[in-house]
Amino acid sequence: MTWNYVGRRVAMFFAVVLLAASANFLIPRFAPGDPTAAVLEQLMSRGQQVEGAGDIVQEYRERFGLDDPLHIQYFRYLWNTLRFDLGQSISFFPQTVSSAILDALPWTIGLLLVSTFIAFGVGSLVGALIAWPGAPRAVKALVPGLMMLSAIPYYLLALIILYALAFSSGIFPLGGAYSSYPRSFDFETVVDILYHACLPALSIVLAGVGFWALGMRGAMIGTLGEDYLTLAEAKGLKPRRIFFGYAVRNAMLPQVTSLAIALGTAASGSVLVEVAFNYPGIGFLLYNALRSSDYFLVQGIAFVLVLTVAIAVLILDLVYPFLDPRIERQ
Amino acid sequence: MSNVLRTLRASLSFALANPKMLAGIAILAVLLLFSFVGPMFVDLRNAEPISVSTNQRPSAELWLGSDSGGRDLLAVMIAATPQTLRMGVLAGALGVAFGVFLGLVAGYWGGWRDRVISTVTDTMLTIPPLAILLVVAASMRSITVEIMAVIIAALSWMFAARIIRAQVLSLREQNYVKMAKLSGMSDLRVVLTEVLPNIVPLAFAAFVGAVSGAILAGIGLEVLGLGPQNTPTLGMTIYWALLYSAFSRGMWWWWLPPILILIALFISLFLITAALDEVANPKLRRSRK
């Protein structure tokens, strides 16, 4: 791995983060209607109910430095964003946007990491088997079903699963991530959390397996004609070893590339799954922020969503040369 | 132009012999029929709030019952399905047109143009569209189907740009393109008469994929309550159903129909894309055997 390569990837990362922060700053200013006025107006109408509304108005004026020239406002905004100071949440008042996001983040990351990896593993294996000539027929019969599942968005599937397995049969809880807020991590709490995570995870896995299987199938077909497979066969290696050690190993590479992007986009895709299941992660927080027009919080979450993808892509870019030495030559 | 037509006709006749394509088109046709013939039997004004009595179960008069806002849900479905399709087609067409243009420029002319376009494309690809969509939609007081389509197109042209660029890069090295250039044709004419006809099937596949992606993004916004407030749409129906806890009240006729229509729509577009991919990528066709 050359320093040039690393430098370019890191520069790309900062470019994306800068772009996202700039979009957060600029878009409200170009949108028709005046969002600053809208938020202030909304604060006024809430004046009686929200304690400390005066502070928020003050904060808003300072944050956007409404009297300063535009470029000063812009640089101040970037500086604040860099320090992860994303402003004051309106709907969760004493909390700041960053603390509200940090509270919700572990739930989303936990749910997503586990379910995306399960979908990735199961999907890749199934996809590899579908393309493998020696695989059982039953696996090949899976193709149409998997294709259908991959075409259906997460959240539509989530709603149907929720109805079938929670509302009408009562096998699983209706929503949330725990029965009572976990104070310690004993065995019972962990089981309870896993029990609550089952259905949201199931909908993400079901919707994802097809995607991974189809991608893997394509990559496997590409490797099947390669000479090293013929050589491995000629050497008399066991089929299992040829399958995993030669075919799957090479076909996995493009899958790993998609994984980074998928982990990132899963964060925004899961927003609606969390809404359907009242799962207390980023997505549910976003839903509440939108419903109470908590504009800072919406912007903050949008920024975090971009940040997750950027980080995932950066990590992948830095790890990839170790997986596939050919990449460096480009 | 006759070249373009000939490729299109050849692709079309192949596609019609393809079972995936036929199934996809059949589902789409049923959905279109539903939304065009429906208005003859159902008064679409009942898709507005407070036009029928609220919370009615499905019955002989109200086939799909009514919601808590007093909308006739059958009328809502008939009115909403074409809106969803219109948004998707508009966003898909805009996004792919822009992507094809950039892909052609980057792939054919190369050089600094390619570097700029590719860098912007790759950067944009790593930004989750929902994040930007959210900020845009949340900062607008009211949003229409058309504005939503434009925003979505602005965030989804990259896929088409990348596919087309790759294809043009390989086309540029083909002998007939080199031949045309050597014979003194201007670059613009080479692109229009030799390159463009060969990317039509691919661009069309990208278009159908983009329509599906646009509907997916649009429904996402709508389910979060950021869709058009004054037009009935499938996503907004799901949003209202969730907001008024139609689930726990057992009102399946409220949330199930929009979900089923959407699933049918996504599967139909998926089948058409898969079939078109086989047309555009002859490799896939062979590998199926």
Supply the pLDDT for residue B91.
Answer: 93
DSSP line for B93-113? HHHHHHHHHHHHIIIII-HHH
Task: Please judge whether A268 and B136 are an interchain contact, meaning their C-beta atoms are less than 8 angstroms apart.
Answer: no
Does the structure show a pLDDT above 50 at A149? Answer: yes
Contact list in A for residue B266 (CB cut-off 8 A) is 151-153, 156
> Scanning every residue of chain B, which has its alpha carbon at the shortest distance from the alpha carbon of A296?
B135
- A136: in domain: yes
B174 vs B194: CA distance, rounded Å: 10
The ipTM is: 0.74
Supply the pLDDT for residue A292.
Answer: 76
Which residues, in sequence order, are bridge partners of residue A88? Answer: A96
> Which residues does B contribute to its contact with A (CB < 8 Å)?
122-123, 125-132, 134-136, 138-141, 212, 216, 219-220, 223-226, 238, 242, 247-248, 252, 255, 259, 262-263, 266-267, 269-270, 274, 284, 287
Does the structure show a pLDDT above 70 at A213? Answer: yes
> Scanning every residue of chain B, which has its alpha carbon at the shortest distance from the alpha carbon of A301?
B131
User: The domain that contains B252 carries what CATH number?
Assistant: 1.10.3720.10
Supply the pLDDT for residue B288.
Answer: 40
Structural domains in chain A (count): 1
Supply the pLDDT for residue B142.
Answer: 73
Residue-wise pLDDT tens digits, B126-172: 777 777 777 777 777 677 888 889 988 988 888 889 888 888 888 88
Task: Please judge whether A151 and B131 are an interchain contact, meaning their C-beta atoms are less than 8 angstroms apart.
Answer: no
Q: Which two tokens stand for residue B110?
A: 């190369």
Structural domains in chain B (count): 1
Supply the pLDDT for residue A330.
Answer: 47
CB-nearest to A306 from B131, B238, B270 is B131
pLDDT band, very low/low/confident/very high, at B95 (cuts 50, 70, 90): very high
Task: Please judge whether A151 and B267 are an interchain contact, meaning their C-beta atoms are less than 8 angstroms apart.
Answer: yes
Give the Cβ contact number of residue A242 at 10 Å: 19
User: The domain that contains A252 carries what CATH number?
Assistant: 1.10.3720.10
> Residue B56 is part of which domain span?
1-285
Does the structure show a pLDDT above 80 at A19? Answer: yes
CB-nearest to B266 from A33, A152, A159 is A152
Task: Please judge whether B141 and A269 are an interchain contact, meaning their C-beta atoms are less than 8 angstroms apart.
Answer: no
CA distance B282 to chain A (A): 13
User: What percentage of chain B exceeds 70 in pLDDT?
Assistant: 93
Q: Mean pLDDT lowest for which of A153-162, A176-185, B17-26, B177-186?
A: A176-185
Task: Please judge whether B128 and A160 are an interchain contact, meaning their C-beta atoms are less than 8 angstroms apart.
Answer: no
- A146: in domain: yes
A284 vs A277: CA distance, rounded Å: 9
Check: CB of residue B206 under 8 Å from CB of residue B270.
Answer: no
Task: Please judge whether B139 and A28 are an interchain contact, meaning their C-beta atoms are less than 8 angstroms apart.
Answer: yes
> Residue A180 is part of which domain span?
103-293
Which residues, in sequence order, are bridge partners of residue B66? Answer: B72
A307 vs A13: CA distance, rounded Å: 9
Phi/psi at A103 (nearest 5 deg)?
-65, -40
Supply the pLDDT for residue A61.
Answer: 60
> Scanning every residue of chain A, which has its alpha carbon at the shortest distance from the alpha carbon of B221?
A272
Chain-centre distance of CA A31, in angstroms? 27
Residue-wise pLDDT tens digits, B17-43: 788 888 888 999 999 898 888 788 877
Residue-wise pLDDT tens digits, A273-296: 888 888 888 888 888 887 777 777
Average pLDDT estimate for B178-205:
84
Does the structure show a pLDDT above 70 at B81? Answer: yes
Average pLDDT estimate for A116-143:
83
Kindly give, in sequence order, each residue whose CB lies less than 8 Å from that of residue A207, ignoring residues fewer than 6 positions away.
A119, A149, A150, A152, A153, A154, A157
Supply the pLDDT for residue B13.
Answer: 75
Label residues A106-135 b or e (16+ Cβ within 10 Å = b). Answer: ebbeebbeebbebbbeebbbbbbbbbbeee
pLDDT band, very low/low/confident/very high, at A327 (cuts 50, 70, 90): low
- A134: in domain: yes
Does the structure show a pLDDT above 90 at B93? Answer: yes
CA distance A157 to chain B (A): 9
Supply the pLDDT for residue B281.
Answer: 65
Does the structure show a pLDDT above 60 at B1? Answer: no
pLDDT band, very low/low/confident/very high, at A315 (cuts 50, 70, 90): confident
Contact list in A for residue B284 (CB cut-off 8 A) is 218
pLDDT higher at A271 or A264 = A271
Average pLDDT estimate for A143-167:
78
Q: Choose from B224, B245, B255 for mutation: most chain A CBs within 10 A.
A: B224
Average pLDDT estimate for A34-47:
56
A74 vs A64: CA distance, rounded Å: 9
A250 vs A297: CA distance, rounded Å: 43
> Scanning every residue of chain A, which has its alpha carbon at the shortest distance from the alpha carbon of B249?
A167
Q: Mean pLDDT lowest for which of A28-42, A138-152, A153-167, A284-298?
A: A28-42
For chains A and B, what is the number of CB pairs under 8 angstroms?
121
- A220: in domain: yes
pLDDT higher at B12 or B110 = B110
pLDDT band, very low/low/confident/very high, at A39 (cuts 50, 70, 90): low
Task: Please judge whether A31 and B126 are an interchain contact, meaning their C-beta atoms are less than 8 angstroms apart.
Answer: no
Alpha helices in chain B (DSSP H): 2-16, 19-41, 73-104, 111-125, 129-139, 145-154, 157-172, 175-182, 187-190, 196-223, 234-243, 252-280, 282-287
pLDDT band, very low/low/confident/very high, at B283 (cuts 50, 70, 90): low
